[in-house]
Chain A
Amino acid sequence: AQKVTQAQTEISVVEKEDVTLDCVYETRDTTYYLFWYKQPPSGELVFLIRRNSFDEQNEISGRYSWNFQKSTSSFNFTITASQVVDSAVYFCALSEAVDAGNMLTFGGGTRLMVKP
């Protein structure tokens, strides 16, 4: 069965530091999709990025970047020059092509606290 592990339950940084959130996944499917979501203190889930298993190209969006490595089954997320507004819980998630329900399997989340 698929599994997503976010080993870091909480990270605390000072504003302007760079921070990397780790995500390791397990799946037997050759076609799968990886996601990152942000859950700010207000509670909603905000979509950040989607990657399919055939696209290992890293991506940068402003201060955010993602490193997808199939060889290590990892999909890590880096925030450069962190800001207080980045404080949130971040979830990594996986869905498999074989799953008819498009079910997302979430990791346990990493709570990021950015202090001024």
Chain B
Amino acid sequence: EAQVTQNPRYLITVTGKKLTVTCSQNMNHEYMSWYRQDPGLGLRQIYYSMNVEVTDKGDVPEGYKVSRKEKRNFPLILESPSPNQTSLYFCASSFQEGTEQFFGPGTRLTVL
């Protein structure tokens, strides 16, 4: 089954404790992105990747890191999480620009 998976689905952590949210897709897509969804602010892109070892900032990259060492994986790293990073995070992948993006199930992160 073609899908985007994310882990963990739910995470409660404390300020400053490094964490990684994994994302994997099995559709051989070139593009991958991370979005966060916040009430009143909608969905905003954090980082994207056009291919292996090619990543760049989206609209709200501060406080996040990403890597793309393999085509299928695109982890999101929070080196020192803060409460304002409490959000619902979505990973997405697409074949190429302009095509539909397929979203993972979301990761609900709470930073205390």
Contact = CB atoms under 8 A, between A and B. Distances in A.
Interface size class of A (residues with CB under 8 A): 20 to 34
Interface of A: 31, 33, 35, 37, 43-47, 50, 52, 91, 95, 97, 99-104, 106-109
Interface string B12-36: 0000000000000000000101010
B85 interface: no
Give the contact-size bracket for chain B: 20 to 34
| B contacts with A: majority SS | strand
A44 B104 CA distance: 7
B50 A95 contact: no
Interface of A is mostly: loop
B80 to A, nearest CB: 25
Interface of B: 31, 33, 35, 42-43, 45, 48, 50, 56, 58-59, 88, 90, 92, 94, 96-103, 105-106, 108
A102 B43 contact: no
Contacts of A101: 33, 45, 48, 50, 56, 58
B103 to A, nearest CB: 4
A100 B55 CA distance: 11
Given A45-B106, A104-B33, 8 more contacts: A43-B108, A47-B100, A50-B99, A91-B43, A95-B97, A100-B97, A104-B43, A106-B43
Contact of A103 (B48, B90, B96, B103): B48
